[in-house]
Amino acid sequence: MLATVPYSPQSLSRFQVLLVDDDQEWSAITQTYLETGGVAEVTLADGPARANDALEAGHFDAILADVDLSAGIIKGEKFEQGDEWLLRSLKSGHRPARELAIITAYPRKIKDTDSLARHGVTVAKKATPAEFEYLDRIRREAAELAGRQRAYSGSPAEGVVGANSLTSEVGPAPLMDDLFRGTREVFLEWLRSRSDREKEAIVVHGKTLSIAQIEQEVAGGTQIGRLMIDMYLHHLKVKFKLLPRPFEG
């Protein structure tokens, strides 16, 4: 049974997101992107069973789920798509989070788009402007919540929040601005030092890019460039053991 926690404004203190996806690379990038933009914490779950455990353990302001969660199914567990898992809760009369979204590379696999729409669930295709726009909206809401909490508590830490280079609105700065700019410069320096700039290529959300092309994306501040910076930052955090690997610890 899907555990649900009815949305309660009084229970909010830190904006938290539950990300349900069995794609570890996408999960890691999205987690870093949200957490560097104001979200207090992103909890990762690679399938319905672990997502249910997370919901039983605490409150979430937003739940983002993929459709195909086959790689995260635990042995003996009945297969259920992310959209079916989410709708099961909504149809029972409970809304597990205020913000709900299905973010998938395969929107056509969604079983009941009409029901999702009636319940106010956002549907966005991965690696499209719609995905980035939705993630940026979550970042803005998280930053605004953090600002309201500081104003209410009168905490001297409210000076930490200001304009954010990624959200263009209220967000965690100057610390996050400095972190982003510093990471960007280090990443660009590393890209420019590569001897295989034209030969080596990687696939980013279905787009094949050479090292030289990645440098252009990063330098130009494009959406792919921002994702690459976040992925590089996440890699550094894992390497220096500041973060556990996805789905570990």
Q: Which CATH number belongs to the domain containing residue 49 in this structure?
A: 3.40.50.2300
In a domain, 111, yes or no: yes
Whether residues 108 and 184 fall in one domain: no
Whether residues 14 and 130 fall in one domain: yes
Whether residues 24 and 99 fall in one domain: yes
pTM of model > 0.85: no
Please report the pLDDT score of residue 148 as a whole number: 63
Whether residues 209 and 105 fall in one domain: no
In a domain, 171, yes or no: yes
In a domain, 64, yes or no: yes
Whether residues 15 and 134 fall in one domain: yes
Please report the pLDDT score of residue 194 as a whole number: 77
Whether residues 134 and 13 fall in one domain: yes
Instruction: Give per-10-residue mean pLDDT for the chain (249 aa).
Output: 40 79 88 85 92 90 94 73 93 89 94 94 89 89 75 39 38 49 79 76 72 84 79 68 50
Please report the pLDDT score of residue 174 as a whole number: 39
Cis peptide before 174 (omega within 30 of 0): yes
Whether residues 120 and 230 fall in one domain: no
Q: What is the domain count for the chain?
A: 2
Whether residues 129 and 172 fall in one domain: no
Q: Which of the listed residues 138, 171, 206 is the one where a domain comes to its end?
A: 138
Whether residues 127 and 190 fall in one domain: no
Q: Which of the listed residues 138, 172, 191 is the one where a domain comes to its end?
A: 138
Whether residues 176 and 105 fall in one domain: no
Please report the pLDDT score of residue 157 as a whole number: 34
Domain that holds residue 41: 9-138
The helix/strand/coil state of 9 is: helix
Query: What are the residues whose beta carbons fall under 8 Å from the beta carbon of 132, sequence distance 6 or more?
Result: 223
- DSSP output for 99-164: EEEEEES-GGG-S-HHHHHHTT-EEEETTSHHHHHHHHHHHHHHHHHHHHHHHHHT-GGGGGEEE-
- Nearest 5 degrees, angle CA 88-CA 90-CA 93? 115
Please report the pLDDT score of residue 179 as a whole number: 62
Whether residues 166 and 134 fall in one domain: no
